[in-house]
């Protein structure tokens, strides 16, 4: 299982109707044969899958990728509310398409705000 780093750039969302290439996520994922995040690889990998949120004027926020079979993929950011079932999550949904440049990912923040991110790099 080889992980790749997926780079997402903000395409549109509340306060950013035209997007912002300065607002990004860098997420380490293993992709399955169809190019989608692989939950089997995630379960079998003893190492955390790294995630970073990058925004202008603030230090990058570090976290890791998590998967729940019932609710999908999300990012747990270090230094936020205590771990537990009520900890805030940043969910991401790749939709039915493979994760590749030009495709879109929906990111839902803990407050429920949804943003469209465009895949700008996979490598």
Please tell me the predicted confidence (pLDDT) of residue 4: 96
Q: What is the dihedral of CA 102, 45, 82, 61, to 10 degrees?
A: -40
* 17 neighbors 36 (Cβ within 8 angstroms): no
Please tell me the predicted confidence (pLDDT) of residue 77: 86
User: For residue 91, is pLDDT > 70?
Assistant: yes
Domain range enclosing 23 = 3-122
Strands 72-77 and 90-93: antiparallel
User: For residue 121, is pLDDT > 80?
Assistant: yes
> Which H or E element spans position 51?
strand 49-54
Rounded percentage of the chain residues whose pLDDT exceeds 90: 83
For 25-55, the pLDDT digits (tens) are 999 999 999 999 999 999 999 999 999 999 9
Please choose, from the candidates 3, 9, 121, the residue with its C-alpha nearest in 3D space to the C-alpha of residue 65: 3
Please tell me the predicted confidence (pLDDT) of residue 83: 54
Provide the domain count of the chain: 1
The CA distance from 32 to 40, in Å, is: 9
> Which H or E element spans position 30?
strand 20-30
Mean local confidence (pLDDT), 47-69 = 94
């Amino acid at each position: 299982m080889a992980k790749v780093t997926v780079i997402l750039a903000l395409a549109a969302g509340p306060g950013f109707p035209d997007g912002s290439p300065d607002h990004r996520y860098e997420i380490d994922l293993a992709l399955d044969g169809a190019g989608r995040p692989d939950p089997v690889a995630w379960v079998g990998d003893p190492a955390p899958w790294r995630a970073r949120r990058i925004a202008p004027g603030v230090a990058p926020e570090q976290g890791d990728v998590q998967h729940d079979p019932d609710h999908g993929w999300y990012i747990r950011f270090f230094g936020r509310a205590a771990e537990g079932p009520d900890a805030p999550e940043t969910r991401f949904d790749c939709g039915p398409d493979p994760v590749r440049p030009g495709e879109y990912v929906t990111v839902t923040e803990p407050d429920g705000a949804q943003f469209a991110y465009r895949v700008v790099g996979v490598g």
